[in-house]
Amino acid sequence: MKSLGQRIKYLRMQKGITQIEVAQGLCTPSMISQIESDRARPSYKILYAIAERLDVSLDHLLEDVALHLEYTSKFKMAKSMVRAREYRTAQPLLLELLHHQHHPVPRMDVLYELAVCQIELGNEAEAMIHLEELYEWAYSHQHHERLAMTLLQIGTVFRKKKEFSVAMYHSEKALRELKKEQAIDPSLHASALIQLASLAEEVGKVEEATCYYEQALQVEQANKEERGSMFLRLADVHYRQGNFKKADEYATIAFSLLDEQDHLERKQDWKRQLLLLKRREGDWRQAVDELMQIARKYEANASGEKAGSVYADIAQVCLDHRSYAESWGYAEQARELLPPHHPANGKAHLVLASVCYSRQEEENGNKHLQNAISIFELHGKAAELEESTQFLCQQLKAQGRFQEALERMERLHKQMIKRLEQRGMVL
C-alpha cells in the first residue's frame, strides 16, 4: 500500500509535470515536495486541486493509499458497536467524527449511524434533525437505498411516538424507494417488510402483517454463527494502542459478523411473529414445538426477557386450544423470566385470568385481568387494552356487577377517543 505522497509523486511523474506546475496558483513548490515526501498532509481543498492538476478523480488518487486510517478504524468500530447495540459507546465516537471535518469517512454515513444511536437512546428530536439532512441529501442525489434507510428510521421515530399511521406512510415510501434499485440489498428489503408487518399488527391488520412476514422470510438469507463481539474487543485493544491498521482489520471483521448476527436474530423474531399470526391454522402442536425451540435458543444465549416473551406466546397458543394446564404452566414460566411491568407480562396475566375463570376462580381471575390492563395502559397497547377490558366487562356482567362493567367500558371509550384526537392533530 502506497503512502499519499508516493501516490501523488507516481501520478505526477506518469503525467510528466514538475512540482512547480502542480503547485502553480495553489501552494508553494516546497509544500508539494513536503507532501510527496509525506512530511506534510494536504487539506481536502488542496487534495482536490492536486487531483484536478493530475487529471484524475479523487477516488483514483486515493486508490490503495493508507490515508487517515485512525478515522476509518474509528468509524468501523462505531458501526460494529451499533450492530452490537452498544449505542452509548458508539455515540461519542460518531460525534467526534461528525465534528472533525478533515477525514475520508462520508458525512452521510456518520449521520445515519448517529441517528440510529439517538433513536435507540430516546433522543428522537436530535435524530430527526440528522434524518432530515440525510433525506434532503439522498433525495437531491436520487440515492434510493439511502432514501429507503432514512425513511425507515423516520418510521421508527413515529412508531416510538405511537403515531402508527405516519410510521406506516414512511415505511411504505421506503419500500417503494428500495424497489427502484436495480440490485436490492436483501437485508434492507427484509427490514422494510418487517417494519411494515409489525406496524400492520399494531393497527390490527393481521392478514397484511402475515403477508409482509412471509415475504421477509423469503427475502432474508441464513447467516453463520458469529464471533463479532470478540473481534470488536480486539479492534478496541489495538485502537487504544495506536495500531490503527490492526484495529481497522478487526473492526471490519466485527462489523460483518455482528451485522449477520443481527439479521439472524431478527429472522428468528419474524418467524415467531408469523407462527403466532398463523397459530389457528394447521397443527398447533407443531407451532408450540417451534416456539419452544426459539425460547430455548434465547435462554441458551442468556436472553431471559426474550425467552419470557416467547413463553407468553406459547401460553396464548395453548389457551386458544383449551389446553388450560399447559397454558398456565407456560404463563408462569413467562412471569418468572420477565420484569413485572414488561408488555409480555400483560399477555401472561391475561392467560392466567382466562384459566382462572375456566376454573371458576373469579377473584383470582379479576386480579390477573386487572394486572394485564394496568400493564397494557402503561405501554399504550391499544388493541390489547381493548381486548382485555372487554374480557373483564364480560366477566363483571357474568358476576352481576353491571355498573362496574359500564364504567370500565366508558373509561376505555374515553381513552380511545383521546388517542384518535391526538393522532388526528398530528396527521
Distance between CA atoms of residues 315 and 276, nearest Å: 11
Both 336 and 221 in one domain: the answer is: no
Both 349 and 234 in one domain: the answer is: no
Indicate if the pLDDT at residue 252 is higher than 80. no
CATH number, domain of 27, equals 1.10.260.40
Both 11 and 160 in one domain: the answer is: no
Q: Is residue 153 part of a domain?
A: yes
Q: Is residue 411 part of a domain?
A: yes
User: What is the arithmetic mean of pLDDT over 273-283?
Assistant: 65
CB-based contact 369:350 (threshold 8 Å): yes
Distance between CA atoms of residues 165 and 176, nearest Å: 17
3-state class of 418 per DSSP? helix
Both 47 and 156 in one domain: the answer is: no
Q: What DSSP state is assigned to residue 65?
A: B
Tell me, letter by letter, the H, E, C secondary structure of 324-371: HHHHHHHHHHHHHHCCCCCHHHHHHHHHHHHHHHHCCCHHHHHHHHHH
Residue in the structure block whose three cell numbers are 411494515: 196
Q: Is residue 271 part of a domain?
A: no
Binned at pLDDT 50, 70 and 90, residue 222 comes out as very low
Q: Is residue 287 part of a domain?
A: yes
Both 356 and 377 in one domain: the answer is: yes
Distance between CA atoms of residues 273 and 275, nearest Å: 5
Distance between CA atoms of residues 147 and 131, nearest Å: 10
CA 16 from chain centre, in angstroms, equals 52
Cβ-defined contacts of 9-15 (< 8 Å, 24+) = 9/36, 11/54, 11/56, 11/61, 12/36, 12/54, 15/54, 15/55
Indicate if the pLDDT at residue 264 is higher than 70. no
Distance between CA atoms of residues 165 and 163, nearest Å: 6
- Give pTM, 2 decimals: 0.55
Lowest mean pLDDT among 167-181, 185-199, 395-409: 395-409
Both 236 and 323 in one domain: the answer is: no
Both 324 and 403 in one domain: the answer is: yes
Both 20 and 133 in one domain: the answer is: no
Binned at pLDDT 50, 70 and 90, residue 184 comes out as confident
CB-based contact 344:363 (threshold 8 Å): no
CATH number, domain of 247, equals 1.25.40.10
User: What is the arithmetic mean of pLDDT over 301-326?
Assistant: 85
More confident position, 222 or 88: 88
Q: Which amino acid is at 67?
A: L
Both 299 and 347 in one domain: the answer is: yes
Q: Which of 147, 154, 203, 156 is nearest to 176 (CA)?
A: 147
Distance between CA atoms of residues 139 and 147, nearest Å: 7
Q: What is the per-residue pLDDT across 411-425, written as a single tens digit (0 to 9) for each? A: 766 665 655 454 443
Ordered DSSP codes for 259-313 = HHHHHHHHHHHHHHHHHHHTTTSS-HHHHHHHHHHHHHHHHHTT-HHHHHHHHHH
The per-residue pLDDT for 190 is: 83
Report the percent of the chain where pLDDT is more than 70: 80
Helix, strand, coil in percent for the chain, rounding step 5: 80, 0, 20
User: What is the arithmetic mean of pLDDT over 11-34?
Assistant: 89
Domain closes at, from 266, 290, 308:
266
User: What is the arithmetic mean of pLDDT over 343-370?
Assistant: 86
65 forms bridges with which residues in the sheet? Answer: 2
Q: At 26, give phi and psi (nearest 5°).
A: -120, -55
Is 340 exposed, middle or buried, given 0-12, 13-18 or 19+ CB atoms closer than 10 A?
exposed
Indicate if the pLDDT at residue 182 is higher than 90. no
Report the percent of the chain where pLDDT is more than 90: 21
Q: Is residue 371 part of a domain?
A: yes
Q: Is residue 101 part of a domain?
A: yes
Query: How many other C-beta atoms can be found within 10 angstroms of the C-beta atom of residue 74?
Result: 24
Q: Is residue 135 part of a domain?
A: yes
Range(s) of the domain holding residue 11: 4-61
Binned at pLDDT 50, 70 and 90, residue 225 comes out as very low
Q: Is residue 110 part of a domain?
A: yes
Indicate if the pLDDT at residue 26 is higher than 80. yes
Domains identified in the chain, total number: 3
Distance between CA atoms of residues 312 and 334, nearest Å: 5
Distance between CA atoms of residues 309 and 210, nearest Å: 19
Q: What is the per-residue pLDDT across 74-112, written as a single tens digit (0 to 9) for each? A: 787 788 888 778 888 889 889 988 887 667 788 899 999
Both 259 and 345 in one domain: the answer is: no
Both 422 and 314 in one domain: the answer is: yes
CA angle 417, 421, 426 (to 5 degrees): 150
More confident position, 119 or 415: 119
CB-based contact 180:162 (threshold 8 Å): no
Sign of the alpha-carbon dihedral angle for 118, 120, 121, 125:
positive
Both 340 and 253 in one domain: the answer is: no
Distance between CA atoms of residues 427 and 409, nearest Å: 27
2 forms bridges with which residues in the sheet? Answer: 65
More confident position, 242 or 229: 242
